[in-house]
Amino acid sequence: MTRPFTLDLSWATLLSKLKIRPADLLRQADLPEDLFLRARPMLQPDAFLRLWAEMSTNLDTDTPGLMLAKAISPEAFSPPLFAAYCSPNLIVAVERLALYKPLIGPLILEGHNTIGGLEVTYGAEPEVELPAEFIGAELAFLVNLARLGSKTGIRPIAVEMVQPPVSKAYADFFGRPVRKGPFNRVVFTREDAEKRFLSANPALFTSFEPDLRARLDQMERGASVKDKVRSVLMESLPSGQGDTATVAKRLGVSPRGLQRKLAAEKTSFQSELRALRRRLAETYLLDTDLSSPEIAFLLGYADPNSFIRAFHIWTGTTPEAHRSAARAI
């Protein structure tokens, strides 16, 4: 079950900048005409993506994601996005986006400080499929944020997408080609990630942080335990931390308490883990050219043979045979 979230206030400013009439857009997306007039307009992920898709078709460009990313700016006030602009540097901005961006969209963002620099990965919530152009918009937005905040021409050292865009416009914007890879990610040098944001404003952030925290708490209370487990697993599996103890710790409960809560929702940790692994495995096999060992890694299996055995139990066939049969149709 997916969770609803609040449609962000920045939409009105964004549509005005793009010269799109809200009433026309809502009608095309089959949404209530008074949606933008409501105090707290709520949307399910499928309705949000329908709205985003219709907005994209209204733009006279073959790279709507890039156009949208460039149109999002600080004056289009959005507490989660403004929190990022108020940050002292890109590292803190990514931490805040990872925490607060789920308030305004079905997106999971995760930052990793590595020896090579700051790596930011993007994914979807369980049962949500994000269009490639949507991911392109998010990657471009983050690079644009880094440039606007630091007032420098920051260029990422790597940009990868599961489904790279065909248009060369993205490569021109990033300053390097967008490569095909197992993750949607952008990587910055440590020097660029630590560059001071001239837009930093700790006092302003402190003034609206309590509201963001309250909204986050309310969203978490509204989500089912199994939804929370799936979200944590989506982030943790590639690092091999898809065990009960790790997930329980991330959710602030004991392993036994987590199992009790899941039992109350007529499921279990292992059932959710198996279901998520199977769904992701089939997606990787059908939509990417990743090998079985690479998929096994992404699903948190220490041994590729463990993945092959599990897949055979799920489907009665091997991963590669499943891929070949599906592509032959």
Q: For residue range 61-102, list pLDDT tens digits in order.
A: 889 889 988 887 655 556 677 788 889 999 999 999 888 877
Domain count, the chain: 2
Same domain flag for 35 and 134: yes
> What is the rounded distance in angstroms from the CA atom of residue 169 to the CA atom of residue 132?
15
Would residue 213 count as lying in a domain?
Answer: no
Same domain flag for 114 and 231: no
Whether residues 234 and 278 share a domain: the answer is yes
Q: What is the CATH number of the domain that holds 272?
A: 1.10.10.60
pLDDT value of residue 98: 87
CATH number at residue 137: 3.90.1520
* 165 and 229 together in one domain: no
| DSSP sequence for 40-66 | S-EE-HHHHHHHHHHHHHTSSSS-HHH
Q: Is there a domain that residue 58 lies in?
A: yes
Examine the domain organization and report whether 174 and 81 are in the same domain: yes
In the predicted model, what is the mean pLDDT of the chain? Answer: 85
At residue 184 the predicted structure's pLDDT band, cuts being 50, 70 and 90, is very high
Q: Indicate the residue among 169, 202, 235 that finishes a domain.
A: 202
Query: Is the model more confident about 275 or about 212?
Result: 275
Question: Average pLDDT, stretch 22-48?
Answer: 83
Domain that holds residue 62: 5-202
> Do 179 and 31 lie in a common domain?
yes
Q: Domain boundary at 171, 202, 233, which?
A: 202
Instruction: Please give the C-alpha separations between residue 35 and each of 9, 26, 39, 42, 52, in angstroms, as whole numbers.
Output: 11, 8, 9, 8, 14
Whether residue 201 is predicted with pLDDT greater than 60 in this model: the reply is yes
- 220 domain-assigned: no
Helix (H, G, I), strand (E, B), or coil: what is residue 14? helix
The residue-averaged pLDDT of 178-193 equals 94
pTM value is 0.67
- Residues 146 and 234 placed together within one structural domain of the fold: no
**Could you give the CA distance from residue 296 to residue 224 in angstroms, rounded to a whole number?**
28
Shared-domain flag, residues 99 and 130: yes
33 and 84 co-located in one domain = yes
Average confidence (pLDDT) over 157-183: 93
Q: Between 90-100 and 202-222, two packed helices, what is the crossing angle to 10 degrees?
A: 30
How many Å is the maximal CA-CA distance in the chain?
59
Task: List the one residue out of 72, 46, 208, 73 whose CA is nearest residue 129.
Answer: 46
Same structural domain, 174 and 56: yes
Alpha-carbon span 32 to 41, nearest angstrom:
10
Give percent above pLDDT 90 in the chain: 37
The answer to whether residue 105 is domain-embedded is yes
Beta bridge partners, 6, equal 42
Choice between 193 and 112, residue whose per-residue pLDDT is larger: 193
Euclidean distance between CA atoms 187 and 122, whole angstroms = 12
Last residue of a domain, one of 202, 234, 260: 202
Residue 93: predicted pLDDT: 93
**What pLDDT does 39 receive?**
61
Q: Is residue 307 part of a domain?
A: yes
Give yes or no: residues 9 and 58 share one domain. Answer: yes
Do 42 and 142 belong together in one domain? yes
- Does 27 fall in a domain? yes
Q: Which residue has the higher pLDDT, 40 or 185?
A: 185
Task: Indicate the pLDDT class of residue 270, thresholds 50, 70 and 90.
Answer: very high
Query: Do the strands 158-161 and 179-180 form a parallel or antiparallel pair, or are they unpaired?
Result: parallel
Question: What pLDDT, on the 0 to 100 scale, is given for residue 1?
Answer: 46
Domain-embedded: residue 218: no
pLDDT band at residue 136 under the 50/70/90 scheme: very high
What is the spatial distance between Cα 148 and Cα 197, in angstroms, rounded to a whole number?
8
